[in-house]
Chains A and B, each alone.
Chain A
Amino acid sequence: MSIGARFPKSDGVAKADGSGIYADDIALPRMLHAKILRSPHAHARIRGIDLGAAEALPGVVATLVGAELPLKYGVIPWTQDETALAVEKVRHVGDAVACIAAIDERTADEALRLVKVDYEVLPAVLTPEDALEHPEIKVNERAKVGNVTKHVHLQFGEVDEAVAGATAVVRETYRYAGSTHVPIEPHCAVARIDADGNLTVWSSTQIPHYVHRELSRVLGLSQSKVRVIQPLLGGAFGGKSDPFALEFCVAKLAMKTGRPVKILYTREEVFYAHRGRHPMKMDVTLALDADGRIAAVDNKILIDGGAYASFGLVTAYYAGQLLTGPYRFGTYRFDSYRMYTNKPPCGPKRGHGSVQPRFAFEVALDEAAEKLGLDPVEARRRNFIGEFVETVNGQKITSNGFLKCLELVEKASGWKERHGKLGPGRGLGVAGSMYISGTAYPVYPNEMPQSGVLVKLDRSGRVAIYSGASDIGQGVNTLLCQIAAEELHCDPYDVTVVSADTDLTPVDLGAYSSRVTYMVGIAAREACQKLAEKLRAAGGATFTEACQRAEAAEGAPLAATGGYRTEKLGGDYRGGTIGASPAYSFTAHVAEVSVDEETGIWNVERIWAAHDCGKALNPTLVEGQIEGSVYMGAAEAQMEEMVYDEKGLLFGPSLLDYRIPTSLDTPDLDSYIVESNDPGGPYGAKEAGEGPLHPAIPAIANGIHDACGIRIRELPFYPQRVLKLLRERDARREERAAS
């Protein structure tokens, strides 16, 4: 009843009337405001920091330097390579150097200008190629070899033989530009320490649990003394997954001063905090046999990581491991290097690691199909891997609605009647993809559940759900209300959700890897079903009466827990568990593109996106995820790029210079939900938040090809790049005409 309904978001009214509390809306008595001084150099040794003049400024209360927080942190236990403030060295323009707390923001800002830092400027490496070539310029000491964060080489089958025996082979280089998340809410954290030494940090994080762990370690406080609370979160998209300098700084400054401390990043600082899409250079070999089946895929990937590891170890794996559906690969090999460079660190952005190779692969597939004279939709249909099948790299696919997705967008776009026939200057492109619904691999290895939910019933008829999961706008709190209503037959409006508070809620690993609906959903359903059993046994004319009778029978308050226990999944080889998911989502897009051949200016007119989310627990929320994903993918194709100058200075770290689409730049989006009813997912559900981003970029590239016969292999598809390719095309045509 409640599952599958278009239930309005449980926090919808609080967000509509302005009463919802985000991190920066928190103001505590005697609260100080702190600001972080940032490096103007891409790479420099710090010889000394003179805080004297800053400390003398009236209104300045405390200062902080890196030596006071020397322990290195990072989400992944094996690659902890960051400190809250630079110790000895800065590694990118915008790296944090010192922090000052004052009675207000403006005073703290003024004080920063009085700090004198003595830098010894070091040579910097700004591209992954330079990072490989100059191992003697060490960006980050954690790298064991040169500047390599992580190297992965995996091969499945005899790739070279398969290529040699293939009919159509494409060998091309594809380049993906770095982009960033741009949540509209800048990062913000507030810390408070009480008289017993208990530390509370409110933070705009999408992973309170890891912030909790890292704060405790770096500050030298036991985890039981640290409480992390995530208030309403103003957008994240992966950009708030890491612990950040501000959380450590507010905590340490609160400990030093005994007063609450807040840091709100400026928009410029959000760009330096980054953790966005990794730039990748991909040398792809794709081989089709005479029937158009994929005989081999070989991808050499060079990844520009920035100054810190972040989730980079995973990125190096995801870049290869997540490509092996929805098509069957005869053989597969990838070789990925994630390099340290002197730029703000890259990390997980929506579709972590796999958006870039998906672009390269889906364009290469079009190019290879063209050689065989094969229709692009047919090429994809023909290579469909199927349901309940193992991929070439040992991942278990369960439900798979990809063919239905493909059929829907083929029909909706009028593909058969229109593809290849709209030109010149107008075309259709298609692409598909797959993505994980969480991963079997918890970031730190442990046997405990990845997700826990506690449900409490009250004799008043109120249901309280305690969940560690982060609602970052995707609506997990709403889903929890729906699950409670479904199982307990209560009114969904009689459910209170207490979420993302490490003191009060069971641990959930956080909002990343598209794991939340799947894992929290299973945990919540389990807890609710235990209580539903007791209510059924107790009976009663109303829900409230059933609660009272059940509590009387129990002789104690009614509560139950549920958990999501990690399954053992993935191939039996080193790295085989990375990218192994209990269920995969599938997507197909068709994009309609128009190109002005005189200027190279092009436009996405419409994108039809069909997504197999298993079961739409709330279709409105799923459509929102699809539409938001497609928008963000199209934006990366159209305009978004982190551009640096030759000294590593980010060009225009503002929303005026780093353009994101307005309502006038966003194509018409048609979203279609496909339900394959996954046997493992809660009520059949799989992920919906990241998968639908992937095909947008290659579908647009393939649409540009259909419109004007050019292959664009580098993002973003700037008009000047398109124009250059159009001129080259014209030159080729002239040559052909002359001969």
Chain B
Amino acid sequence: MRPSVFIRLLVNGEEHALAVPAQRTLLEALRYDLGLTGSKQGCDKGDCGACTVLARERAGEGRGEAILSCITLAQDAQDLAITTIEGLAGPQGLDPVQRAFADCGALQCGFCQPGMMLSARALLDDNPKPTLPQIQEALSGNLCRCTGYTKIYEAVQVAAGLRAPAQRAPVQSERAAPSDSKAQTVKEIVP
């Protein structure tokens, strides 16, 4: 058997004592040892951002900055206070970022979303009224494949109180003149 190391992790305000293989990543510890499956594994190489969590020094304040838990060793995270998506909602319910993502349709499959929302949270903690380029910069480490990012920006702006969710109405199409279209429906088929 591989040797284990004994570690302590402070996650969402709870202290955990674990024995894990030395190579255990923080993402593995969160998902497999602590059952915090909201942090996702998309690449396991630090490329996609789905595993993003927030971290600060234990003695510090706030939630800290966004880090990639798949390229952080669990044993190296012992000095950190970590916030995962499960710890983002408070006693008052969902965080405004979570609320806005749900309201704006900023999510489709939802897989990149915990990491995306945590990056957004870190941005807003640091800069409560970001410009669009600042939002784009802050989220550039989180890949989304569903949305084209448009509604994600909207959600961050809604969470920051910079705008209300969109309410554009669809456009009705006029019927085209059918006379023209019926004229040439003859088809010729040469199999």
Contact = CB atoms under 8 A, between A and B. Distances in A.
B62 interface: no
Contacts of B148: 627-632, 666, 669
A331 B189 CA distance: 10
Contact of A675 (B50, B108, B167, B173): B173
A403 B176 contact: yes
Contacts of A8: 102-103, 105
Given A16-B113, A19-B38, A628-B147, A620 B176 contact: no
Interface stretch (B3-11, B74-82, B178-186): B178-186
A156 interface: yes
B73 to A, nearest CB: 14
Interface in A383-400: 384-394, 399-400
Nearest to B174: A404
B98 A17 contact: yes
B167 to A, nearest CB: 7
A631 B149 contact: yes
A184 to B, nearest CB: 4
Given A6-B167, A571-B189, A660-B143, A627 B110 contact: no
B146 A624 contact: yes
Interface residues of A, number: 99
Nearest to B137: A664
Interface in B147-188: 147-153, 165-178, 180-182, 184-185, 187-188
Interface in A1-39: 4, 6, 8-9, 11-22, 24-25, 27
Given A387-B178, A628-B147, A573 B189 contact: yes
A330 B74 CA distance: 66
A576 to B, nearest CB: 8
B43 A267 contact: yes
A642 interface: no
Task: Count chain A CB atoms within 10 A of each CB in B31, B43, B85 and give the residue with the most.
Answer: B43
Nearest to A103: B1
Interface string B18-49: 00010100000001100111111111110110
Contacts of A473: 107-110, 146
Chain B: interface size category: 35 or more
A156 B176 contact: no
A313 interface: no
B88 to A, nearest CB: 8
B181 to A, nearest CB: 3
A182 interface: yes
Nearest to B35: A27
A389 B88 CA distance: 54
A154 B191 contact: yes
A449 to B, nearest CB: 27
Contacts of B108: 235, 473-475, 624, 628
A452 to B, nearest CB: 24
B105 A184 contact: no
A29 to B, nearest CB: 14
Nearest to A21: B37
B44 A266 contact: yes
Contacts of B191: 154, 573-574
B59 interface: no
Task: Count chain B CB atoms within 10 A of each CB in A14, A181, A624 and give the residue with the most.
Answer: A624
Contacts of A399: 173
Contacts of A599: none
Contacts of B66: none
Contacts of A474: 108
A17 B137 CA distance: 24
A628 B77 CA distance: 36
B44 A235 contact: no
Contacts of A267: 42-45, 47-48
Task: Count chain B CB atoms within 10 A of each CB in A389, A629, A675 and give the residue with the most.
Answer: A389
Interface string A453-484: 00000000000000000001111000000000
B139 interface: yes
Interface string A656-681: 10001011101001011111110000
A233 B188 CA distance: 44
A18 B171 contact: no
Task: Count chain B CB atoms within 10 A of each CB in A158, A408, A656 and give the residue with the most.
Answer: A656
B170 A675 contact: yes
A387 B181 contact: yes
Interface of B: 1-2, 21, 23, 31-32, 35-45, 47-48, 50, 84-86, 88-89, 94, 98-99, 101-105, 107-114, 117, 135-137, 139-153, 165-178, 180-182, 184-185, 187-191
16 contacts: A6-B165, A6-B167, A12-B102, A16-B99, A18-B37, A18-B114, A20-B110, A156-B189, A184-B144, A234-B109, A235-B108, A267-B42, A389-B181, A656-B47, A674-B171, A677-B172
Given A8-B103, A18-B36, A185-B40, 5 more contacts: A16-B98, A157-B190, A571-B189, A620-B105, A662-B141
